């Protein structure tokens, strides 16, 4: 049974807000075939990528491309791209697991993540059969890489304000403009490019590297992800055939944003792989380093850093596979006799709230985990002698791309309101204290949509509820099935609940005060006792114990 087949009840986007303890898909229920693929991906990252990271960071000629080709030979070039066009045709949840395991190093993670994600997905979801058969087989085989070119110098978060232009000329469009921050630019053979037809109609095109007028500028000098390629794409009167338009002229925003919904879920998987690295590096160092005659792993404050990272990661992982499975089920219900592209668009859109929240939560968990892993290294963490400095630098961008965390926070609550979910939430019976805080906070915040400080508090309450509910339900399911790790999972979920409840209380107090309401919030007793079990298990496992 793959995760996609798990018999969970059907949900619509945002229903986690008011459902009480729904059964959810959990990574422990992946079948043995999926676990084998995930293990192969993990071994590939550990044995083939990690030993090369210094050379990758120096951008040694041909090295990254050859690694990506090796990964493609194992089927990782397009795990969820359609089988008919060279992909493995796997459910998104399985592709997500593979990506998590491939993501132990940030540079490789971004490179393969963009290649198999936003570099291909617009073609798989929105392309005609002709476009799929022209572009997906060489992409999935790793003949060249894929890239996604939305951002420009003056349009980042406000992506639709871009100035790249397309002018219709007979059966072609002529594209001109500059796209900035394009991951994989150096190695890409195809780019998903967004430009405005006649300066008005935002449209998605497939542009080939070899088309006359296409060029790539020098690499950006980045603080991290030095092994990945990030450069500008210059379009100087590039003739692109009209059949290379994805979806419809003037409807490029639907291609861009729906690809990014799923891209955000995948980005959470990329963060997850890097949290695994931080935990294994942090626990190992803490056990080896002695001060005051003992390993620093024996000190409460060091154990607490590991416990918080693990518990938060357990919650992030629980949200991630719950969301990926929901997306799978949305795609599984696509009517084969309907308009495939239109149905794909709806499926990619349905769980946009969950995708935004898991992106924010997983990337902030990563920031916390790498920061504390560095702190555990003391002064040595601040040098280039140890791998933790690279992890720290590589992780930073995760809160910036695929929609900054500010944009995702604003977007998530905006969607909650626009889908009429605040009203449904108001009718729900609170299941936990965080849920009660969320109900109270969202009711107050819905009349203050123009005030971002309030909206962000409401989004955080939704995110903390989603995270703690997912962690608790997963731990209970593990206990019910007698899983070997259920004791650690229950401890992680309860420890996370304590952390999340105290954070949620402070977010609610701020929200109510900013709304001009009484900010009196009754705080229940919470227990941090689970942290001892969690840190013990992590030190024993030399990393993430679940």
Ligand X SMILES: Cc1cc2nc3c(=O)[nH]c(=O)nc-3n(C[C@H](O)[C@H](O)[C@H](O)COP(=O)(O)OP(=O)(O)OC[C@H]3O[C@@H](n4cnc5c(N)ncnc54)[C@H](O)[C@@H]3O)c2cc1C
**Closest CB to ligand X among residues 115, 495:** 115
Based on the shown chain and the rule CB under 6 A, indicate whether residue 230 belongs to the binding site for ligand X.
Answer: yes
Nearer of residues 254 and 303 to ligand X, judged by Cβ: 254
Q: Name which of 105, 543, 546, 544 is nearest 283 in CA terms.
A: 543
CB-neighbour burial class of residue 365 (10 A; exposed 0-12, middle 13-18, buried 19+): buried
Query: Is residue 246 within the footprint of ligand X (CB under 6 A)?
Result: no
Work out whether 342 is an interface residue with ligand X (CB under 6 A): no
Shortest gap between Cβ of 363 and ligand X (angstroms)? 13
Comparing every residue's Cβ against ligand X, the nearest one is 156
Residues 41 and 32: their CA atoms lie apart, in Å, by 14
Nearest to ligand X of 148, 539 (CB atom): 148
Does residue 407 interact with ligand X by CB under 6 A? yes
Taking CB under 6 A as the rule, which mask of x and - marks residues 109-128 in contact with ligand X? Answer: -----x--------------
Binding letters toward ligand X, positions 156-175, x by CB under 6 A: xx------------------
Candidate list 225, 231, 373, 508; residue touching ligand X; CB under 6 A? 225
Q: Using alpha carbons only, what angle is made at residue 106 by residues 100 and 109, rounded to the nearest 5 degrees? A: 45
- Residue 498: closest CA among 275, 363, 317, 304: 304
CB of 219 to ligand X, least distance (A): 11
Is residue 150 part of the contact set for ligand X (CB under 6 A)? yes
> Is residue 45 at the binding interface for ligand X, with CB under 6 A as the rule?
no
**Is residue 454 near ligand X by the rule CB under 6 A?**
no
Q: Is 234 in the site for ligand X (CB under 6 A)?
A: no
Q: DSSP alpha helices (H): ranges in 197-299?
A: 252-288
401 binds ligand X (CB under 6 A): yes
Q: Which is nearer to ligand X, 181 or 247 (CB)?
A: 181
When asked if residue 151 is in the footprint of ligand X (CB under 6 A), the reply is: yes
Task: Quickly list DSSP for 28-97.
Answer: GG--HHHHHHHHHHHHHIIIIIGGGHHHHHTT-TTHHHHHHHHHHHTTTT-TTS-GGGTS----HHHHHH
Q: Does 400 bind ligand X (CB under 6 A)?
A: yes
Q: Which of 183, 190, 325, 531 binds ligand X (CB under 6 A)?
A: 183
CA dist 508 and 444 (Å) reads 10
Total residues contacting ligand X by CB under 6 A comes to 21
Among residues 111, 135, 115, which one has the least CA distance to residue 124?
135
Give, as ranges, the residues between 460 and 519 that touch ligand X (CB under 6 A): none
Q: Does 296 bind ligand X (CB under 6 A)?
A: no
Catalytic residue among 402, 451, 476, 540: 402
Among 16, 85, 181, 437, binds ligand X (CB under 6 A): 181
Single out the segment in contact with ligand X by CB under 6 A; choices: 4-12, 178-186, 274-282, 513-521: 178-186
As a whole number of angstroms, the distance between CA 416 and CA 513 comes to 21
Mark the segment that binds ligand X (CB under 6 A) among 129-137, 222-230, 348-356, 383-391. 222-230
Q: Does 148 bind ligand X (CB under 6 A)?
A: yes
DSSP label of 4: G
Nearest to 216 by CA among 191, 185, 190: 185
The full DSSP string for 472-541 is HHHHHHHHHTT-TTHHHHHHHHHHHHHHHHHHHHHHHHHHHHHTTS----PPPP---THHHHHHHHHHHH
Please indicate whether residue 152 is annotated as part of the active site. no
62: left (phi over 0), alpha (psi -120 to 50) or beta: left
C-beta atoms surrounding 412 within 10 Å: 26
What tokens does 358 get? 């898991």
CA distance linking residue 200 with residue 27, whole number of Å:
44
Closest CA to 194 of 179, 181, 214, 213: 179
- Could you say whether residue 408 binds ligand X (CB under 6 A)? no
**Among the candidate windows 181-189, 262-270, 351-359, 464-472, which touches ligand X by CB under 6 A?**
181-189
* Cβ-Cβ contacts under 8 Å for 355 (sequence gap 6 or more): 261, 262, 264, 265, 323, 327
Whichever of 78 and 545 has its CB closer to ligand X, that residue is: 78
Residues that bind ligand X (CB under 6 A): 114, 148-151, 156-157, 181-183, 222, 225, 230, 397, 400-401, 404, 406-407, 410, 452
Tell me the catalytic residues.
Answer: 402
């Amino acid at each position: 049974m793959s995760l996609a087949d798990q018999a969970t009840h059907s949900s619509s986007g945002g229903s986690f807000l008011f459902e009480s303890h729904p059964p959810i898909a959990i990574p422990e229920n992946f079948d043995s075939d999926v676990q084998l693929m995930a293990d192969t991906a993990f071994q590939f990252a550990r044995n083939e990528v990690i030993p090369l990271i210094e050379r990758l960071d120096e951008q040694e000629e041909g090295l990254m491309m050859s690694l990506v080709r090796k990964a493609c030979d194992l089927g990782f070039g397009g795990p969820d791209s359609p089988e008919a066009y060279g992909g493995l045709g796997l459910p998104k949840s399985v592709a997500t697991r593979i990506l998590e395991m491939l993501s132990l190093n940030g540079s490789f993670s971004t490179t393969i993540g963009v290649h198999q994600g936003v570099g291909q997905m617009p073609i798989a979801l929105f392309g005609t059969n002709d476009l799929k058969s022209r572009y997906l087989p060489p992409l999935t085989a790793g003949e060249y890489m894929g890239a996604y070119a939305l951002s420009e110098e003056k349009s980042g978060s406000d992506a639709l304000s871009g100035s790249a232009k397309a002018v219709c000329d007979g059966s072609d469009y002529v594209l001109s403009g500059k796209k900035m921050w394009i991951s994989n630019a150096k190695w890409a053979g195809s780019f998903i490019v967004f430009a405005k037809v006649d300066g008005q109609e935002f449209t998605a095109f497939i542009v080939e590297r070899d088309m006359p007028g296409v060029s790539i500028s020098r690499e950006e000098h980045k603080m991290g992800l030095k092994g990945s390629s990030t450069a500008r794409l210059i379009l100087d009167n590039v003739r692109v055939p009209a059949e290379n338009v994805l979806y419809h002229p003037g409807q490029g925003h639907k291609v861009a944003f729906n690809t990014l919904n799923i891209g955000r879920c995948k980005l959470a998987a990329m963060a997850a792989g890097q949290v695994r690295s931080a935990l294994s590096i942090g626990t190992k160092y803490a056990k080896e380093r002695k001060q005051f005659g003992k390993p620093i792993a024996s000190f409460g404050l060091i154990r607490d850093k590991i416990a918080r990272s693990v518990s938060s990661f357990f919650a992030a992982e629980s949200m991630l596979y719950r969301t990926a499975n929901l997306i799978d089920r949305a795609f599984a219900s696509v009517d084969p006799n309907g308009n495939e592209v239109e149905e794909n668009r709806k499926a990619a859109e349905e769980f946009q709230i969950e995708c935004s929240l898991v992106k924010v939560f997983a990337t902030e968990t990563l920031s916390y985990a790498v920061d504390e892993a560095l702190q555990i290294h003391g002064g040595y963490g601040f040098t280039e002698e140890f791998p933790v400095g690279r992890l720290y630098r590589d992780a930073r961008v995760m809160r910036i791309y695929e929609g900054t965390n500010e944009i995702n926070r604003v977007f998530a609550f905006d969607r909650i309101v626009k889908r009429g979910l605040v009203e449904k939430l108001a009718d729900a019976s609170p299941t936990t204290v965080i849920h009660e805080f969320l109900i109270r906070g969202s009711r107050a915040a819905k009349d203050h949509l123009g005030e971002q400080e309030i909206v962000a508090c409401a989004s955080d309450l939704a995110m903390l509820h989603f995270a703690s509910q997912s962690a608790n339900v997963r731990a209970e399911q593990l206990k019910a099935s007698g899983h070997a790790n259920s004791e650690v999972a229950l401890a992680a979920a309860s420890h996370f609940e304590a952390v999340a409840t105290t954070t949620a209380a402070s977010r609610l107090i701020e929200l109510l005060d900013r709304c001009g309401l009484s900010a009196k919030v009754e705080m229940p007793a919470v227990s941090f006792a689970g942290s001892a079990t969690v840190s013990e298990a992590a030190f024993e496992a030399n990393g993430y114990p679940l």
